[in-house]
Structure 1
C-alpha cells in the first residue's frame, strides 16, 4: 500500500472514526477542526491534529494543505463552511477533494463548485441496512460506489455441494466470488461462546465446493447482485 497524505476537515462522529482508520492503515493524517476539545481527543490517533477555522484560507495554507494527496471535507451540520472550505482548498491547489453532503441540493451546489467526489455516509449505511433486510440470506453489504457493491450472503440452497465452477456465477450473473467465510470450531477455545469462528478461505478456486452455512463474499454491480439475490 502506498502511504498517502490526507487532510480530514471536520472531526465529528464520522470524522473521528475515519481518521483513526486511515492512521491505522499507515497514512499520514492531518485532522482539522475548530473545536480544541475535539482536536485534543483525537491527537493521539493521527499524525497532526490542528485547531483552526476551515474557512480561513491562510490558516489552511499554513498547514501545507496544498501538498496533501487528498482533502476530505467531513463536516455534517455546517454547509456554508463546507462551501467556503471547498473553495479555499481549490485555490490552495488541492486537486483531489472529497466532500460530504446531506441533501440533493447540497450535492448539486458542490458539483457546481467543481467538487465531484461526494459522499453521504448516512445514505450508504441506510441503503446497506435496507438491503440486508430485503434479501434472504444477506449478511451484510458495502457500497463501493453508486453502481458497485460487495455483499456477504449465506450460500443459497441451490448451490450447496456444488463447486464454484458449477455455480458459474460470473457468466450467469456477471458477479465474482471474492472469498468464502466458512464457520468452523476453534478447539483451543476455553469458552463455548468463543468456539465458533469464521475461517476466511482466501481466493477460492473453481473446484472449491460450497458447503451449507458458507458465507459467500460477492462483488458486482447493484443490478447484477439484485438479480442474483432475487432468483
Structure 2
C-alpha cells in the first residue's frame, strides 16, 4: 500500500479531500491543479503538489504521469478540460484512470471513450440525503447487486439495552450485524470490533448491517417506538 503512487488532478473540495485521505493512508500523492492557490493550500498535506495545465501533454510528461499506479481526474466545472485530460492520460498509457462525472450524460461520454471507473459524487450525496429524509435512522448505505446492501443506521430504540443474542437479528430478519460504532466528538466514530452474542446495543451506537434492503428496512420499522 505504502509503495503506491496516485495522482489527483483537480483540487476543488472533492479532489482535495481525495488527495488528503490518500496521503493519510500512506499513499504517495501528486496533487495537480492549474490554480496555484489550491496548490499552496494542499502542499503540506501531500508528497508533491504542482501547478500545471493537465490538458497539455508536455506538462503531464514533465511529472512522469505514466509511472503512477492510478490517476484521479476530479475536475468539476469544465467538462471539456476533463475530457481532454482523460484522453491524454489514456494516450500516455496510464494504468488506471478514475474520472468524476456530473450527471448520467457525462458518465456515458466518459464510458464511451473508454473510462470504466466513473464516479458521480453529487448523485451519491443526493441519494443519501433523500434516503435520510425518508428514514432518519439511516446514516449511509451502499447498494449491492440483487437488492443486498450495507447500511449504517442509528440503533432503533426497541433494541437498546438488549444483547445481540436477544435481538435474534439473523434468525428473525435475515440480516447480519457487521460491527457497531460509537459516536465521539467532532463526528468521529470508533469501531467496536466484531460483535458477539453478548454484545449490548447502546443508545449512541451506529449499527453496520448487511442484508437485503427490504429486510433491513423492516427491522428498523419493527424496532422503532
Q: TM-score, normalised by structure 1?
A: 0.80
What secondary structure does 1:102 align onto?
A: coil
Separation in structure 2 between the aligned mates of residue 153 and residue 131 of structure 1, nearest angstrom = 13
For residues 128-150 of structure 1, what are the alpha-carbon distances to aligned partners after superposition, in whole Å with 9 as ceiling and x for unaligned?
22222221433x21547787444
Change (3 A) 1:30 1:202: same
User: 1:122-137, aligned counterparts within 5 Å?
Assistant: 122-137=122-137
Conservation of the 8 A alpha-carbon contact between 2:155 and 2:201: no
For residues 5-57 of structure 1, what are the alpha-carbon distances to aligned partners after superposition, in whole Å with 9 as ceiling and x for unaligned?
11101111111222111111211001111112221221111111111111112
User: Counterpart in 2 of 1:42?
Assistant: 42
Separation in structure 2 between the aligned mates of residue 219 and residue 163 of structure 1, nearest angstrom = 18
Instruction: Kindly state the Cα deviation for residue 127 of structure 1 after the two structures are TM-superposed.
Output: 1.6
Separation in structure 1 between the aligned mates of residue 117 and residue 193 of structure 2, nearest angstrom = 31
Among residues 192, 201, 206, which one is paired with 2:197 in the alignment?
Answer: 206
What secondary structure does 1:45 align onto?
A: coil
User: Counterpart in 2 of 1:141?
Assistant: 140
Count of aligned positions: 218
What secondary structure does 2:109 align onto?
A: helix
1:118 and 2:118 aligned: yes
Alignment gaps of 5+ in structure 2: none
Alignment gaps of 5+ in structure 1: 185-193
Instruction: Kindly state the Cα deviation for residue 208 of structure 1 after the two structures are TM-superposed.
Output: 1.8
For residues 126-181 of structure 1, what are the alpha-carbon distances to aligned partners after superposition, in whole Å with 9 as ceiling and x for unaligned?
2222222221433x215477874441322351x34543245343465554322223
Q: Quick check: 14-23 or 203-212, which moved more? A: 203-212
Q: Quick check: 129-138 or 165-174, which moved more? A: 165-174
What secondary structure does 2:199 align onto?
A: coil
Change (3 A) 1:4 1:198: closer
Alignment root-mean-square deviation, CA: 2.9
User: Counterpart in 2 of 1:189?
Assistant: none
Q: TM-score, normalised by structure 2?
A: 0.82
Change (3 A) 1:68 1:163: same
User: Counterpart in 2 of 1:178?
Assistant: 178
Instruction: Kindly state the Cα deviation for residue 224 of structure 1 after the two structures are TM-superposed.
Output: 5.2
User: Counterpart in 2 of 1:188?
Assistant: none
Change (3 A) 1:67 1:182: closer
Separation in structure 2 between the aligned mates of residue 229 and residue 221 of structure 1, nearest angstrom = 13
Instruction: Kindly state the Cα deviation for residue 210 of structure 1 after the two structures are TM-superposed.
Output: 2.8
